[in-house]
Structure 1
Amino acid sequence: MRLGGPVFADYDTPAEWTDALDDLGYGAAYCPVDPDADPETVRAYREAATEADIEIAEVGAWGVNPVSPDPDERAEAVASCARHLELADAVGANCTVNVAGSRGDSWAGPHPENFDEATFDLVVDSVREIIDAADPDSASYTLEAMPTMVPDSVDSYRRLLDAVDRDAFAVHFDPVNLVASPRRYADTAGLLEAFVDELGERIQCVHLKDVAMGSDPLVHLSEVPPGDGNLDYHALLRALDDLDDDLPVMLEHLDGPEAYERAADHVRSVADEVAVSV
């Protein structure tokens, strides 16, 4: 595995970017350029990452809704995701990632129709459209599992992979987003192991965070920093260690460099305890 996270240091060149990653001890990185970057800049960052032995984990295509009920918004979202997938292919990233989308007003919010069969079919169509438009050579398009839409479980992710039927459609593993009930919260190790057992060979990137459940009888689950919740990191790192040695495991959603340093220390500490490398 290769641990990574955001870079907070200022950089103007690919060399300064890789130096900042080295200072953090990261072997993986989020994509440092956006789809508007010129081809020479994209190529320079790809070459710098290769030279510094940095794995570019993902290109985030966040904030757009490929299953929007508004046909114009949906078309724009599909085109945006395809541009991000083209960037991922050009910069040498493992994948582009978004959520499937929502039938409501929010691109990632809940809606009663999100689990309908018609919406499932629309997700399949949108993923195919994105992949076919970008036609990547090596990068994959992935969906982050979410509690409020498909895929929301091991089974729904497998069903979606089979339905899309594209080699360039792969898996983004965000364990915390799968912990959507007290039952799953009670056995995160079993959940993690089942996901990796079923889908491990298709996983292109992993997000690292944690989850805590409140004491109120009405269920409330909160995202918290790694080590502050109930996610079984020992089971997670052991399961992931059976996959690709270069698999990026990426810290996210933390408040500033000090929080990322503490999270990285926790992940490295657990990795030492289970004798795996990050």
Structure 2
Amino acid sequence: MSFNPLRIVLLGAGRVAAHLAPALAAAGHQVVGLWSRSPESGAALAARLPAPVAVAPGLQQLPAADVYLLTLPDAVVPEVLAAARFPAGALVAHTAGALPLSVFAPYKEQLRGGVFYPLQTFGPGRAIDWGTVPLCLEATDATALVTLHQLAASLSADVRELDSARRLQLHVAAVWVSNFPNHLLGIGRELLEGAGLPWELLHPLIRETLDKALAQPPFAAQTGPAVRHDAATLARHEAALADRPRWQQLYQQLTASIRATAGAAPAPANNGSGLRL
């Protein structure tokens, strides 16, 4: 797909920017400037890019660009918008999932606002296949939306327009399928380590669980003592967590939620033909 290269300024040099800036450069855009609350992080990111990048010393010295992308924590965006000096009519887009488009409302006379939300988790040392990352867009005007579409389509094959309300629901869902499972996996790993068992023991189970959840509705794939109403096993598990009261409480809450979701009818009892989680 052909497109016109855009001049981009990134405000923020954290995890999102560390992945997004090289991807923009690889797609043929010009990352002409960076600003970061940490000058060291800004300089480090600029050094990784193929062309020279101006690291702005402050929010009042941002270079001219076609798009300004705010790759910042949600809570920081309003204060940066209030402090930054953008050219009149500049297109400024944040990359947050839960932050509404209305954050730009106080500045509607000075700039055009937008959302450029990549639905992905970003971590150091991880390679991101940008061609598969859903990019969710919203803008205060049609012209800004066209520009964001052009930018998004140069990176990904999955570009969607989502208003703030639906994007918020998407972000909540993303927390459920990414952040919360990561926390639960961490608990599982610590329990194994406490028992002197290797983390690798759970790898095949984790992979199969994810594969099943992607192949069918996850609630339909639910197994385990909670859905079977196996009171004896549940009691043993809770006893095993007695020295971890926070995790024991979480176990009880998740068990109750699984039971409520699965319904009141007990599942068939295990016939002893093999392990069933």
Q: TM-score range by the shorter chain?
A: under 0.3
Tell me the TM-score normalized by structure 2.
0.28
Q: Which has the higher contact order (CA 8 A, sep 6+)?
A: 1
Tell me the TM-score normalized by structure 1.
0.28
